[in-house]
């Protein structure tokens, strides 16, 4: 396994400066944002596809520093009920797949998306319970009329271009856990797998080690994000985990995103790294930072130091069995 970072953390820096900093920190790989919610500060996929000289300069920026591109990421909602919004996310995805193919990058990361509750919706609707019955009816309609047709078509597009998509399970979208991820893959095709991010699973009371093993068994573990979540025991006891307060309201939220090691301790992350090793994952562990209690620099450096230490343990065979 290699250690990398999602470069949107350094979107305010020019690409070359960001890559120098990443290299100096001792990382091996970079995940690049190409559109969608992460934006495209370092990589305008459509523009690169139209300009071979510019594309070559982009490739050389990584190759000259000995850095691998682990994935191109365009997290978005191509199933959004507002067609204009959906079309933009879809365009970002298609351009990203085509660029990945030209660069020889095997993996594109995005979300599954989430439709509305009908053809007349203005906004996405995430169904979280089966009753009243109309909730179940909405969910059935979403999957059968929107999710499955769209991703079946994209699976074929991915196969034609020799690229795979790593869907990041995320509450708010139709794929948010292991079960929904495996359903999408079963219904739509094997070029669809997962970008595994424990931070979205911890607060749902899921065990990342179990999820890693289940997804790997299905051949669906494509990429990995290193991000943590801290659960506030008191707030959760009072209000549960479905929390719509701002992520900046750290004092009152049931949970917040944290830098690796600041939500769950070293033993938990050792077990996660060991589980990845055990199932034969040989890809990149990509640091993502959304810790509102730390600056980007602090969170990145602490995560990098923590994970480098754990990967050294993994390389010498010190496995913590789950």
Q: What is the pLDDT of residues 14-57, one digit of tens each?
A: 999 999 999 999 999 999 999 999 999 999 999 999 999 999 99
- Give yes or no for a contact between 319 and 297, defined as CB atoms under 8 angstroms apart: no
pLDDT at 169 over 80: yes
The Cα–Cα gap between 18 and 12 comes to 9
How long is the chain? 322
Strand-strand pairing, 192-196 and 164-167: parallel
For 36, what's the count of Cα atoms within 13 Å in the CB-facing half-sphere? 27
Residue 63 makes CB contacts below 8 A (sequence gap 6+) with: none
Q: Could you count the other beta carbons within 10 Å of the beta carbon of residue 44?
A: 17
- Measure the CA–CA gap between 211 and 161, rounded to whole angstroms: 29
Handedness of CA 183, 187, 188, 189 (dihedral sign): positive
% of the chain beyond a pLDDT of 90: 96
Under 8 Å CB-to-CB from 282, ≥6 apart: which residues? 1
For residue range 226-259, list pLDDT tens digits in order: 999 999 999 999 999 999 999 999 999 999 999 9
Cα–Cα distance measured from residue 206 to residue 233, given in angstroms and rounded to the nearest whole number: 16
Radius of gyration of the chain (CA): 19
pTM of the predicted structure, to 2 decimals: 0.96
Q: In this structure, which CATH number among 3.40.50.1950, 1.10.1060.10, 3.40.630.30, 3.20.20.150 belongs to the domain 2-315? A: 3.20.20.150
- Tokens 């060991």 belong to 274
Q: Is the bond preceding residue 28 a cis peptide, omega within 30 degrees?
A: no
Tokens of 127: 């169904």
């Amino acid at each position: 396994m290699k250690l990398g970072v999602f470069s949107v953390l350094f979107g305010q820096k020019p690409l070359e400066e960001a890559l120098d900093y990443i290299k100096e920190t001792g990382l091996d790989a970079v995940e690049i944002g190409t559109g969608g919610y992460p934006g495209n500060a370092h990589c305008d996929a459509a523009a690169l596809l139209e300009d071979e000289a510019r594309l070559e300069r982009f490739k050389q920026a990584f190759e000259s520093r000995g850095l691998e591109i682990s994935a191109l990421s365009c997290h978005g909602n191509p199933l959004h009920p507002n067609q204009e919004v959906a079309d933009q996310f879809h365009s970002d995805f298609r351009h990203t797949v085509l660029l990945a193919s030209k660069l020889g990058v095997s993996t594109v990361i995005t979300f599954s998306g989430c439709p509305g509750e009908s053809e007349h919706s203005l906004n996405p609707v995430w169904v979280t319970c089966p009753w009243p019955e109309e909730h179940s009816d909405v969910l059935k309609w979403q999957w059968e009329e929107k999710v499955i047709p769209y991703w079946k078509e994209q699976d074929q597009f991915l196969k034609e271009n020799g690229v795979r998509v790593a869907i990041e399970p995320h509450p708010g979208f139709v794929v948010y856990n292991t079960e929904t991820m495996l359903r999408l893959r079963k219904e739509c095709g094997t070029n669809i797998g997962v970008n595994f991010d424990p931070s979205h699973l911890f607060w749902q009371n899921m065990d990342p080690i179990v999820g890693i093993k289940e997804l790997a068994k299905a051949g669906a573990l494509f990429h990995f994000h290193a991000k943590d979540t801290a659960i506030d025991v008191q707030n959760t006891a009072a209000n549960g985990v479905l929390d719509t307060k701002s992520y900046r309201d750290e004092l009152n939220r049931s949970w917040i995103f944290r830098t690796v090691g600041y939500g769950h301790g070293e033993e938990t992350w050792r077990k996660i790294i060991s589980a990845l090793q055990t199932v034969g994952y040989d890809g990149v562990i990509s640091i993502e930072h959304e810790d509102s209690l730390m600056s980007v620099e602090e969170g990145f450096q602490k995560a990098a130091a923590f994970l480098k230490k754990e990967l050294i343990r993994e390389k010498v065979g010190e496995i913590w069995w789950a």
